[in-house]
Amino acid sequence: MKLVERIGLAALHRLDPERAHNLSLAALRAHLVPLPGVITSPRLRTQIAGLDLPNPVGLAAGYDKNAIAIAPLLRAGFGFVELGAVTPRPQPGNPRPRLFRLTEDRAVINRFGFNNQGMEAIAPRLAARPKQGIVGLNLGANKDSDDRAADYVRVLEKCGPLVDFVTVNISSPNTERLRDLQGAEALRALLRRVMDARNGLASPLPVFLKIAPDLTDAEIADIAEVAATAGVDAIIATNTTLARDGLTSRHAQEKGGLSGAPLFARSTRVLARLALESGGKMPLIGVGGVASAEDAYIKIKSGASAVQLYSAMVYNGIGMIADVIRGLDQLLARDGFASVSEAVGIEKEKYA
């Protein structure tokens, strides 16, 4: 880690985590952070759901909820970025404090609750984004909505034409009963409405589905079948976990979703199970605990065509992105792969 970034991180860690989060976005927008630009190579270039990625390492949703730093994030090295989650109406989210660093565990717990400025405020920022670079949007539902499927559809219809893909987020643990939508029948009904809305757009775009890590093998099998039947273009595995196994931090029992290093094994198992259930036919994006090139490589070998990260930047800074991408390129070269796609799923049985 560069000295300037190390000093900056140390300063941020003296602040309340949510304030530090907002200041990091402000620093990006003010061009205070050196950024490498797009990082690519013949080995790293890949495709997922028809999208051409310069490399398979993306930013997970949750960092830039309101789409205020799109241009600098696209220059940070990522192969793609996912913004949001965005709901139809603005909502403040849950009371503060709602973000906690578990430094000893290299983890984060959040219970934000889909805090965002709403689709009417965010759509113009998406319309003004750089045309170069792959940008996706995480779709959310308002906490007090009595028809959450309709909320996903509304955001899709408003913002879908302005991005390259959308993600149906049914797996945040911080909106009451949201995860109930992962049940086979509820999911089937939800996806029918979302896919109908997608197909009604002037230029239909890929729809991804983001699932939880706290699923049984039977639930994973159901989701794989329903998603494939509905025509979902990819599954993101996974969101944060409610589990608290093995944590040592004083914040370990805070309510909310746990992300970071302790999520890695759990999310990778779900990813590998999905790869087995889908027979490699459903593109998968692996997220959860990725903090190094080696972590990204394990996700890929477990079945991921691309990976996402976020929480690791809390501890390693945004400069880590370039290290992960270049390190992944070196690992692929070491093992004789001409492209990242050749490595996808080669060890899924090991991690399932």
> How would DSSP label each residue in 10-68?
HHHTTS-HHHHHHHHHHHHHTT-S--------TTT-EEETTEEESSSEEEPTTSSTT--
User: Is 172 an annotated catalytic residue?
Assistant: yes
- Least Cα distance to 210 among 242, 178, 163, 185 occurs for 178
Mean pLDDT of 95-108: 98
Residue 113, Cβ density class (10 Å: 0-12 exposed, 13-18 middle, ≥19 buried): buried
Instruction: Give the C-alpha separation, 197 to 188, whole Å.
Output: 14
Enumerate the H helices of the chain as residue ranges: 3-12, 17-29, 70-74, 119-127, 148-159, 184-199, 217-230, 264-278, 293-301, 312-316, 320-334, 348-351
Enumerate the H helices of 161-242 as residue ranges: 184-199, 217-230
Evaluate whether 349 touches 276 at the Cβ level (below 8 Å): yes
Mean pLDDT computed over every residue of the chain: 96
In this predicted structure, the answer to whether residue 1 has a pLDDT above a threshold of 70 is no
- Residue 342: pLDDT band with limits 50, 70, 90: very high
Angle, helices 184-199/148-159, rounded to nearest 10 degrees = 30
pLDDT over 90 percentage in the chain:
92
Amino acid at residue number 255: K
Evaluate whether 75 touches 61 at the Cβ level (below 8 Å): no
pLDDT per position as a tens digit, 195-249: 999 999 999 999 999 999 999 999 999 999 999 999 999 999 999 999 999 999 9
pLDDT per position as a tens digit, 134-188: 999 999 999 999 999 999 999 999 999 999 999 999 888 878 777 788 888 889 9
Domains of the chain from N-terminus onward: 3-351 (3.20.20.70)
Instruction: Give the C-alpha separation, 314 to 308, whole Å.
Output: 14
Catalytic residue, from 24, 171, 172, 311: name it. 172
Q: Which residue has the tokens 């070196």?
A: 330
pLDDT per position as a tens digit, 314-328: 999 999 999 999 999
CA distance to 136, 175, 196, 207, 243, per residue, from 232 (Å): 15, 23, 11, 6, 28
pLDDT per position as a tens digit, 42-86: 999 999 999 999 999 999 999 999 999 999 999 999 999 999 999
Evaluate whether 214 touches 241 at the Cβ level (below 8 Å): yes
Evaluate whether 167 touches 140 at the Cβ level (below 8 Å): no
pLDDT per position as a tens digit, 281-312: 999 999 999 999 999 999 999 999 999 999 99
